[in-house]
Copies of this chain bind each other. A is one copy, B any other.
Amino acid sequence: MSIEAAISELIPLLGDRLSRSKGDLAQHGRSETYFANMLPDAVAYPESTEEVSRILATCHAQDCPVVAWGTGTSLEGHALAARGGISLDLSRMNRVLAVHPEDMDAVVQPGITREALNTELRATGLFFSVDPGANASLGGMAATRASGTTTVRYGTMRDNVTGLEVVLADGRVIRTGTRARKSAAGYDLTGLFVGSEGTLGIITELTVRLRGQPEAISAAVCAFESVEAAVDTVIATIQSGISMARIEFVDASTARAFNLYAGREMPEKPHLLVEFHGSPAGVAEDAERLGELVAEFGGSDFAWSSRPEERNALWALRHNAYYACLGLRRGATALVTDVCVPISRLAEAVEATRADIAESPLEGPILGHVGDGNFHAILLVEPGNEAELAEALRLSSRMTERALAMGGTVTGEHGVGMGKLAYMPREHGEAWAVMGDIKAALDPKNILNPGKLVQRN
């Protein structure tokens, strides 16, 4: 019973789709952020549910760890092979299996990326709404319960995945959910697997909700004199019932990063980036009301655009914000914080974070999906500099403790992985033990992404 035995057994099944090449191992043993590399012993490239099932049955029998790999963009070391074993790369299972325009859903394989899915949907008048900054895989997004700029309107992966096919630790294949819009038929297994970070099962198929392309879209950028003024505008907007499709905050430092990265000329001040979806009349009405609120909170440089190219450039920039911020310091990597707090505490939380960073030697632009109360500080550190990493961890810890004290969460969207593991007892108390019990029930041998998310060793 060993990793090597599992690998030997899998060779006849997968042939050269079971790789032990240095390049493959290295590529599947690194992350986008500050974690040290942790290499798998082999990388498997399954092409069907049946193959995933056989791989898991083998690894289960042999006690061999299996770590699913989507596109590897997760930010908390989720997909690192903390105990070695097999990295299960799902990129070859990347097809759209069905689109049902009348029901506004699609059935897809887990390896498809969100951009590829939306490209395939273009002709239908429908789109898939969840958009993390990275061009992540749908399986990875479901596994991390990802969200993005449009979550304030259309929800997270929790709200947009209606059914799954999952291969369990022992190789059994189950289906969760139905194609109906809602169901009260027993425990919400779909919801349980969404956000489970590959620790309870491997997602081999997803049914996702689609949205109608809005009749009209308009977008705006607006600068503010202070963080509070920007955040208070967000709160007032939400409370006035204006329905935003997107409302993003970037601070002065992020604005500077945008200017450097994309040759923009934004004033180096806090900004809101906003978008409305609706009918032409509805969008105009919303825009007018927002304009009034912006003026009330002293916003300036209020620029509207309904031109698609300008809008696309704006959101492309937002989606590249992480790389733009890394550009503020040559060769840097980052620790990305991800707290989410009740909206009523948002201004206070952002302001205290800004003050913490101002006192620290590290640079840390702040930005976020403020309509959800979710924001990130991108703490720039030199790779391998232990003192800087320690300082970044100290800042991150202050932010997470503050978020918990405010009734919030240590991770709004990135997930637990390894980076947030230490906070789980504080955030969940005894409920974390219950997560461990569920893990033990579904993966008694702890072969699925061991060392992540739950309290087991």
Contact = CB atoms under 8 A, between A and B. Distances in A.
A191 B159 CA distance: 11
A412 B185 CA distance: 7
A133 to B, nearest CB: 14
Interface string A337-351: 010111110000000
Given A185-B427, A429-B175, A215 B239 contact: no
A212 B427 CA distance: 29
A240 to B, nearest CB: 8
A437 B442 contact: yes
A12 interface: no
B437 A186 contact: no
Given A102-B239, A214-B241, A241-B215, A410 B442 contact: no
Nearest to A177: B409
Interface in A172-212: 172-176, 178-189, 191-192, 194-196, 200, 212
A416 interface: yes
Which residue of A103, A338, A420 has the most chain B CB atoms within 10 A of its CB atom? A103
Given A173-B430, A174-B434, A185 B103 contact: no
Contacts of A343: 102-104, 181
Contacts of A416: 184-186
A124 B419 CA distance: 40
A278 to B, nearest CB: 8
Interface stretch (A89-97, A143-151, A259-267): A143-151
Contacts of A435: 186-187, 189
A31 interface: no
B187 A372 contact: no
Contacts of A358: none
A123 interface: no
A354 to B, nearest CB: 19
Nearest to A174: B431
Given A174-B434, A212-B241, A341 B184 contact: no
Taken together, the copies of this chain in the complex come to 2
Contacts of A102: 235, 239, 342-344
A325 to B, nearest CB: 21
Given A102-B239, A189-B434, A241-B212, A156 B182 contact: yes
A180 B454 contact: no
Interface in A413-451: 413-416, 420, 423-424, 427-432, 434-435, 437-438, 440-442
Interface stretch (A64-72, A80-88, A279-287, A326-334): A279-287
A374 interface: yes
A407 interface: yes
A168 B180 CA distance: 31
A408 interface: yes
Contact of A438 (B238, B424, B430, B438): B438
A287 to B, nearest CB: 13
B411 A183 contact: yes
A185 B168 CA distance: 21
A100 interface: yes
A336 to B, nearest CB: 13
A438 B187 contact: yes
Contacts of A281: 281-282, 285
Contacts of A279: 282, 285
Interface in A74-125: 100-105
Contacts of A257: none
A43 interface: no
A453 interface: yes
Contacts of A441: 437-438, 440-441
A348 B434 CA distance: 43
A404 B70 CA distance: 32
A180 B346 CA distance: 10
B178 A409 contact: yes
Nearest to A189: B431
A177 to B, nearest CB: 9
Given A184-B409, A186-B428, 18 more contacts: A104-B238, A158-B182, A173-B430, A178-B409, A179-B407, A179-B408, A181-B343, A181-B372, A181-B373, A182-B412, A184-B416, A185-B409, A186-B435, A187-B200, A187-B453, A189-B434, A279-B282, A282-B282
